[in-house]
Every structure is written in C-alpha cells, then in structure tokens.
Structure 1
Amino acid sequence: MEATAPSPVKIAIIGAGVIGPRHAQAVKQNSNTLLVCIVDPTPTAISTAIRLGTSYYPSVAAMLQSSKPKPDVAIVCSPNHTHVDISTTLLSAGIHVLCEKPLSTDSASGRALVAHAAAQQLHLLTGHHRRFNPYVVAAKRILSNKECSLGHITAVSGLWALHKPQEYFNPPAQWHRSADEGGPVMINLIHDIDVLHFLLDSRVHRVAAFEATKRRGYDAEEGGAVILHFENGVVGTFVLSDAVVSPHAFELGTGENPIIPRTGRDAYRIFGTDGTLSIPDLRRAFYGANQDKSWINEVQEVSERLEDWLSQEERGKIPFELQIDHLVEVVRGNQEAVCTGQDGLAAVRVAEAVKIALRTGQVVTVED
C-alpha cells in the first residue's frame, strides 16, 4: 500500500515590501507549500496579493479572525521594530514562525521571543538566508574538507562597503535615517555576523569599534571599523560603510540581490596556519606539499569551482527557494533548523554590542 503524500504546508507572508514578495514567489514555486495569504496594511499590498493569486488581510488580527484555515507557518517580513510583537502573536495562535532578520531590534525582546516560542513548543527560525547561499554553502564544505584544510583558523577579515542612494532614505523608508532602526550595523552587518558565526562554528564574544564620519546628516551610523573576538579565539576585523564606492560587499561579490550588479570580488578572508580562503571567489592560498611554510617560498593559489561543492538541486535554486525547502522539512520534523531563533538572537547581540562600541569607543563584551 502506497504511503499518503503529506498535505502542503500552508504559509502566510507577513509584510509585502521588498523581501515579502520574494518569499511569496518561492512559496508559490514549491510543490510542498501553499501560499494562503499576504498580510500588510498598505493599499499596494492588495495588488501584490492579487498578482500572486492569494488572499489578502490588512492585519494579523484580521487573518486570525478569518473563517479560512489558519496557516501552519508565517514568514514575518514586516518592518524590523514589529518583528517581536507580530511573531509573538503568531506563536500564541499556534503558528510556526520564520522571522526575517533581525530577529529583534534589541536582545531583551529577542530573548523573550525565543523563550515564548519554546514555551509554545513551536518552531522559531531566523531568516538569515545567506546560510543557504551557494558560496556560503561551498565555503562551509571547503573549510571542513581535509584536503583543503586551512589548518588552525586564526583570523578573519571582512568588508561590506558600497553606496546606498538617496532614495533609500526617502519616505516611506525614512526610518533608514534613524539611529535606532537604520544604519548598516543592524541592517547589513548583522547578515555578515551570522555568516561568520556559521562558517567558524563560533560566536563573537567581544567587539571594539570606531565610527566612520557621517556625511549625510542623519542620526544613523554610516559605518565604521570593527574588531571581533570569537569564543574559539579567532580574531577579526571588519570595515563597514554604506557611503563609499567599492566593489567589496557580499551582495556585490555574489550577485545575490538581482538589483545590485555582481562584481565577483571577495568580502571575507579566513586565515589559517596552513592556508587562506577568500569568499565568495573561493580562492585558496597555500604552500605546496613539498614546500616549507616560509615567507621566502611562493604561495600557490587556486580558485575552487563553485559547482564542485554543490548538489544538483543546490545549483538550480536560489537561497530563498532552498530556505523554503528546509522550512518544510523542519515543520514536518525531518530536519533540525539551520538557523534557529537562538542563532538570530546571537547575531542581534553582536550587532547591539557593535553599536555600543561605535558610540562609546570601548571594548564591549557580548551579553549571553
């Protein structure tokens, strides 16, 4: 007797801004999921729902009061300051949550959200989709491969440097000007923090930072230089700016964002006692088997082929689609979450510490 195929996982998208429709499209393309609605108070979201062929609600409360079956999962893509309240409401209604980054705008509310999900015995995942990016997946596998070993990883350097145009700060997105919600630390660096946590299997423990000069006249920081100290002893530096011209940033190097032209240049370099790996160009530097490790010998370099480190499925899907595949398996109990609420909270704590360090110039210990 053939086993009955499981019912599609019903998914609601909360927020129809930039990221919400991308998630919705990934849900629509997945044979194991059903897009049940778009939730967003703005009138333009109605046309988005119509285009996607799904129901529309102006609020989470309206969705929950509907006579239609409630979703199994909600993907929260609303403005950052609403993430905790909306996710808490959904979890209280018995709905699993995938919350876009940042999980919260401060660590205290993030801790409360993680605790609430545990009390409800529901899944809370954080939408750090770069853990599914092919370059990050490949780098993770290269780092764990004995033939490509970097030896003992000692240090890391990172760059996120590009120029955001004025329209990025104009209404209705004027919140990007705010010191509390705007600025590249909580919007952009938090992604890189999570990627480094993932690649190094260790979390940042202490930070120091110096703020770059502000030239736009807004309260939000425009960037700075950050020093990182990981729990496993790895040290690192990170230069961050959203107000300079540069080919070095994760989006630029990977072509992940379709509106940002790809440069293919590196954003991270991981240094070990036996070699160095740059990402996303996947370039390894090392001494040959018959060479002494000495500065008088020539360092060899090879560029790993991305395709060699990916499965056929991974080669054919974008990170948002792979994240939805994974979400389905987590909800069905077949996989452990790749990026949990705790992981999202860890990135928030580091970003929060960086903002304090930028403001005070002091070394800040990341709170547990």
Structure 2
Amino acid sequence: MDLRVVVVGAGLIGPRHAKSILSNPHTELVALIDPLPNAATTAQQLQTSYYPTVEAMLQAIPKPDAAIVCTPNHTHVPVSRELLASGVHVLVEKPVSDNIDNGVEMLRFLQRPENTHLKLLVGHHRRFNPYVLKTKEIVDSGSLGRIIAINGLWTLFKPDEYFAPPGDWRRAQSSGGVVPINLVHDIDILHYLFGPIVRVHAEKTLPQRPSPPHEAEEGAALTMRFASGVVGTFLVCDATPSPHNFETGTGENPLIPKCSSDADFYRIFGSDASLSVPDMTRWSYDGRSSKGWNQPLTAEKFDVEEATPFDLQLAHFVDVIQGEAELSCSGEDGLRALIVCQAVRKALDTGETVELDSNIF
C-alpha cells in the first residue's frame, strides 16, 4: 500500500525530497506546506496541494502517513512534535534540533508507551551516499588494519544570496552558522564510521563577512578523539573557494558542480593501509617484500555505483514505517551529532578542550 507523504518546507531541500517521493513507487506526495506565498507556485510545479501550515493541512485532508520536515533549524522540534502528536511518522532534516534540551524532550515524548509506534528518522542522508557506504564497507572489512586517525575537510564558498531573506536565519548565531548547518553532516558520518567522539578542541577561522549582519561562525579547525582511541583533525569553512568538500567531491547536490579529480575530503589512516575519499584509493605496501617508507606504495582503486542518497533514504524510511528495517539514524543518533556541534561551539567560545558524555539521558 502506498504511503501518503507531505513535505513541510519549500526552500532548498524540500523540493528535492518531494521529487524523491514522486519517483518512489511506494509513496504519494499529497501536500507541500510552507507559510511563504511563493510556496504555492512550487506546489503547483510539483502537482500537489499547498497549505500554509501543518494545522491547515490536517484540517483539510485525511491524515498523511508520514511527513518530511525541511524547515529552518530552530523550527525542527515544534514542527516535528506537532506532526508526531497527530500520529504522523516523521523524517526530519538535520540537525534534529537547534538545542539539546528541546531534542531530549522530543525523544522523551517518543518514549511514552502510547507513542512507541511512531518513527522519527533524522535526515543525515549522507549515510546513504554510495561513497559513504563503500567507505564503511572498506573500514569494517579490516583491510586498512586498525584505524589510527582521520583527516577531514569541508571547505567551500557560499554566495551572498545564500544568506539573503528568507534565508537570513543562516546569518544568526542562534540558528545559523557553518557548524550546525554543515559540520553536523560530517560529524554524523564520522560517528557512523568510527563511533562516538568524546573530546574536541576548536579554533576559529578568520572572519571574511561583515558582522553585523553575519553573527554566526564561518569556520573552525578541530582536533577530536573518539571513544575507540582514533584521533582526528577537521577543517570546516564556508568562506573559501575550494573543491575539498562532500558536495563537490561526490556531486551529491545538483546545485554545486562536481569536481572530477583532486577533491578529496576524507583521509583515513590505518595500521595496514590508508584510504582517500571520494577517489576511493587505498594505499598500502601489499605485494612488497617488506613494509616501510623505502618501499613504493601500492595504489588500489575501488569503484562506487552511483545512486541518489535522498532516494535511498526515502526507501529506507518506507521500510522502517512498514516494519521491515531498523532506523539507520535515530533521534538519539541525530542528537549525538548535535551534542558534538554544541561542544565545538563551546570550544570556540571558551578556548577550552571539551569532554563529551556519550549518554544522552
């Protein structure tokens, strides 16, 4: 039986989710919800109904099976709570919340006996990116040996129009910034690959935009320790021309041109080999008479099958609702990524190294 799905939010991401719903044989797009007047035109282009609010939608049509929430970060919890309280399963875009307390309160709401049937999937869709899936396969196979360290990059240049109304919330410290908007994706991938981060230190990059109106951080250099003992460094910055970011390297976002080469964003170092992503090259001394720097390295490249992460994530959401799969990224997983991002911001503000507790409750 097809699932009736609504999309809440008609900005950059909402229409992409809507197209996934339209292309999935098991889902039907029944409404687009957004208070902005131009959203009605977007709904018309998607050939679906338009409503300005969730309440208006619930009063006008039969209750949908599921909703995808793509609203500004600070509205994720109230919008998701409204839908969940009405008995609608929710896929909420990352971050799951704009603060820890609200996120914890929503998870406690889901733990009530009368709500345990409800599903909340956090939209860290890069868990479904073929490059991430292949990386996890390689890491989990043990072919790199014991993982020692990770070096990561998310560096590019956001244009002025990205911050123009109605997207001016991205300039505010309370709701925007490169840490909760972009770094949170990579933190979730790092958790997915290597387990929880338990310590962070961060230094701010030099600001490039006028403040005001730009209050939020533009970048940071991080050092991290994982519970497993793996250590890492990460540079995030949205004010520099660079191909070293997930979107440019994988071509995942149709709005950001893919770079065909020299656009690596992760380097994973193990005791037996290292791996660069997304060129998927494994460097080792395999086949050599001995292991050491006086030997030439062997390069092995892995193929990656192309697929659309949003489509794979939606298919997973359908399976979860139908009881055929466990949540890939639960509310707890989403909140753990947010906790690390909050720790990064604390480290930026105080100059201190921040220790993290992996227990949410």
When normalised by structure 2's length, the TM-score is 0.94
CA distance in 2, matches of 1:240, 1:24: 29
The answer to whether structure 1 residue 161 and structure 2 residue 155 are counterparts is yes
Residue number in structure 2 paired with 1:178: 172
Cα deviation, 1:221-247, whole Å, max 9, x if unaligned, reads 110100111111111000111111212
Is 1:43 paired with 2:37? yes
Q: Which residue does the alignment assign to 1:254?
A: 250
Aligned to 1:329: 319
Give the AA of the match of 1:214: P
1:23 match: 17
- Partner Cα separation in structure 1 for residue 342 and residue 103 of structure 2: 12
Q: Output the amino acid matched with 1:232.
A: S
Q: Which residue number corresponds to residue 3 of structure 1?
A: none
Alpha-carbon shift at residue 77 of structure 1 (Å): 0.4
Structure 1 counterpart of 2:280, one-letter code? L
In 2, distance between residues paired with 1:215 and 1:204? 29
Which of the numbers 28, 46, 56 marks the counterpart of 2:50?
56
1:185 maps to amino acid: V
Question: 1:311 — aligned with what?
Answer: none
Whole-Å separation in 2 of the counterparts to 1:116 and 1:124: 11
Secondary structure of 2:145's aligned partner = coil
> How many corresponding residue pairs?
350
Show the counterpart of 1:142: 138
Q: Report the counterpart of residue 291 of structure 1 in structure 2.
A: 289
CA distance in 2, matches of 1:349, 1:183: 15
Q: What corresponds to 1:75 in structure 2?
A: 68
Q: For residues 57 and 43 of structure 1, what CA distance do their matches in structure 2 show? A: 10
Contact 1:114 1:124 in 2 (8 A): no
What's the Cα RMSD here?
1.2
- In the TM superposition, residue 290 of structure 1 has moved relative to its aligned partner by 4.0
Per-residue deviation, residues 39-91 of structure 1 (Å, max 9, x unmatched):
1101111111112121111101111222x211111100011100001111111
- Contact map agreement 1:37 1:49 (CA 8 A) in 2: yes
What does the per-residue CA deviation read over 1:139-174, in whole Å, with 9 as the maximum and x for residues that have no partner? Answer: 11122235xx11100110100111111111222211
* Deviation digits for residues 6-52 of structure 1 (CA, Å, limit 9, x no counterpart): x1011110111110011011001111011111111011111111121
Distance in 1, Cα, partners of 2:121 & 2:245:
25
Whether contact under 8 Å (2:138, 2:144) holds in the other structure is no
**Distance of 1:164 and 1:88 partners within structure 2:** 31
Deviations 1:175-195 (A, max 9, x none): 121112221111111001111
Deviation at 1:292, TM superposition (A): 2.4
Query: Are 2:8 and 2:33, in contact at CA under 8 Å, matched by a contact in 1?
Result: yes
Find the counterpart in structure 2 of residue 96 from structure 1: 89
Moved over 3 A (4+): none
132-141 or 291-300, which moves further after superposition?
A: 291-300
Q: How far is the alpha carbon of 1:203 from its aligned partner?
A: 1.1
1:238 partner SS? strand
Letter paired with 1:55: S
Does structure 2 conserve the Cα–Cα contact (< 8 Å) formed by 1:10 and 1:73? yes
Give the Cα–Cα distance (whole angstroms) in 2 for the partners of residues 55 and 176 of structure 1: 28
Q: Which amino acid aligns with 2:236?
A: L
Which residue does the alignment assign to 2:230?
A: 234
Give the gaps of 5 or more residues in structure 1: 1-6, 308-314
For the Cα contact (< 8 Å) 2:288–2:295, is it kept in 1?
Answer: no
State which of 204, 207, 210 in structure 1 corresponds to 2:197. 204
Alignment of 1:243 with 2:239, yes or no, is: yes
Whichever residue aligns with residue 72 of structure 1, its letter is D
